[in-house]
Copies of this chain bind each other. A is one copy, B any other.
Amino acid sequence: MGVRSSPNTGMMGSFFDSLLEADFPAIGGLYPVNPKVDEINGVRCYKTLLDTPDPVDHVISQVPAAVVPELVDQCVAKKVRSIHFFTAGFSETGDEEMAGVEEAMIEKLRGAGIRAIGPNCMGLYVPSSRLAFMSGFPTEPGNVFLLSQSGANAGEIVHGLVSRGIRFSKAISYGNGADLRAHDFLDYAAADPDSEVVAAYIEGVQDGRAFFDALKRCARVKPVIILKGGRTQSGSLAAHSHTGSLAGSIEIFDAACRQAGAMRAETMDELHDLVVAASTNTRLVSGRGVALFGGGGGGFAVLSADAIDREGLTVPKMPRSAVEKMREYVPVAGSSVNNPIDAFPPEEHLEDMLRLVATAQGIDMMFMSPMTGWRRPPPGASKQDSKRDADLKQSALKQGAESPPDPEAAVKQMMENATKAAQQMSDLQNDTGTPVIGILRSGRMARMMGQSRTAMSEAAYKKGIGIYPSVARAARTVAQVLDWKAYRKGLPDIFSKSQSS
């Protein structure tokens, strides 16, 4: 592997550092190339690509665009296999001369059998090879494949989904897509045994027929979720400045996705949520009845019911027999055992109550708010039951309400709560067959909540439980999955098969 670098390129620092974090033995060696210095961060540096001692598989170009033709000649002479052009300033600028340079260099590379990624992109993230294009990407591999025309969005998708518990098989930022482009990556993803779910951020499709055919092949066998940048007039103009993309008709794009059986996301948040859905139990949901259990008091329950209803899902009332049974567990005042259920039973009755709700008629899924917040030791209270009740209700109010006396102990307790809550949701789902979906709202204790949220999401994800940041987003995701399943009728079932993650 060879690297050529120049201090003139803006993002070099961060990008180059992420390469230095790579596991050299795993990727077979890293060779910085720079005519002006002898070493970079303690790694020996070569004057030109031709001076590197060993065969080179993959070249990462960070030289200015003006120097690229010379580098391309060296790549041909060195017989490398692929090159990634981090370098920008080609066809995306709208400058005809630079578009011509881009075309010429790709032609020369193709003639030599060298494939190119970019230009104007961040390139490859391959955790199993310890290759990353941003600092902080995990080295642990996973089952999600990402292709993205934008490097910044690729970073946002990786970081955002990692904090939801997801890990990646490979991610590719491919910018202008002058050689390798969306259809090549879709074909790769379809065949790649490590990739079970495919996410894509696309600004423009250069070859509509090839793209649509590859999308059909891939979406047939794996869940594919596409976020299209430049859906509007303003966005499409911005996309043209960004990656030189011509957006084309959004109606045709949407219809093609639907026909292929792929899922469209309208926003970055939707892309994240749908990837979580496709790789967790959310993909198993088969009806519209939601039981909402706990989470934030009566007013929260009302707004949550509104959010669920707005997405075309329902909040079925509990059958009278279930209501009567639950009334044995919880007092009347300040609680509701109809659906939404805003009640905190004593701990010894909690499991029974959850199972009662999960198996009630008309309930197709549970929305639950796991408790991960810090719990203050309960104040002096006289009876065991009311103490527990006060503690639980208080804990719900307290989540995010103030700083605990000992931050370290609080973090430890939250991590334990996260593992326990994930187990509880998983057990409930296994026992009842009803998908249990977690709602993890952001709180005021941002300092600790960050760690606690990630811990909770990761613990749940490992057990196949999807976690969403609000009832509204969970409801929207479920509605989209149901719609997706409906228009895939006749295609292979990609939703019920197990996902190893």
Contact = CB atoms under 8 A, between A and B. Distances in A.
A16, A201, A238, A309 pick with most chain B CB within 10 angstroms: A238
Contacts of A450: 445-447, 449-450
A397 B303 contact: no
Nearest to A301: B238
B235 A305 contact: yes
B229 A11 contact: no
Nearest to A12: B390
Contacts of A249: none
Nearest to A340: B238
A393 B302 CA distance: 44
Interface stretch (A189-197, A398-406, A482-490, A492-500): A398-406
Interface string A32-62: 0000100000000000000000000000000
A129 interface: no
A305 B88 contact: no
A108 to B, nearest CB: 21
Interface string A437-465: 00000101111111101100000000000
Interface string A314-344: 1101000000000000011110101010101
B315 A238 contact: yes
Nearest to A153: B299
Contacts of A233: 309
Interface in A337-357: 338, 340, 342, 344
A400 B160 CA distance: 10
A14 B298 contact: no
Contacts of A380: 7
Interface stretch (A76-84, A177-185, A215-223, A239-247): A239-247
A131 B307 CA distance: 33
A201 B300 CA distance: 11
Interface in A81-101: 87-89, 93, 95
Nearest to A157: B299
Interface in A127-164: 134-136, 148-156, 159, 163
Given A152-B300, A229-B303, A234-B308, A136 B11 contact: no
Nearest to A342: B242
Nearest to A16: B379
Contacts of A238: 298, 301-302, 304-305, 315, 336, 338, 340
Contact of A451 (B89, B383, B447, B451): B447
Contacts of A267: 303, 307, 472
Contact of A344 (B10, B155, B394): B10
Nearest to A8: B386
Contacts of A201: 299
Contact of A317 (B237, B299, B448): B237
A13 interface: yes
A264 interface: no
Contacts of A64: 333
B93 A298 contact: no
Contacts of A301: 238, 242
A151 B136 CA distance: 41
A248 interface: no
Given A237-B315, A446-B451, 5 more contacts: A10-B334, A10-B390, A14-B401, A65-B333, A241-B336
23 contacts: A7-B390, A10-B333, A64-B333, A95-B332, A148-B299, A150-B297, A151-B299, A152-B299, A152-B300, A152-B397, A155-B401, A159-B401, A227-B303, A232-B306, A234-B306, A237-B317, A238-B315, A241-B298, A242-B299, A445-B450, A446-B450, A446-B454, A450-B450
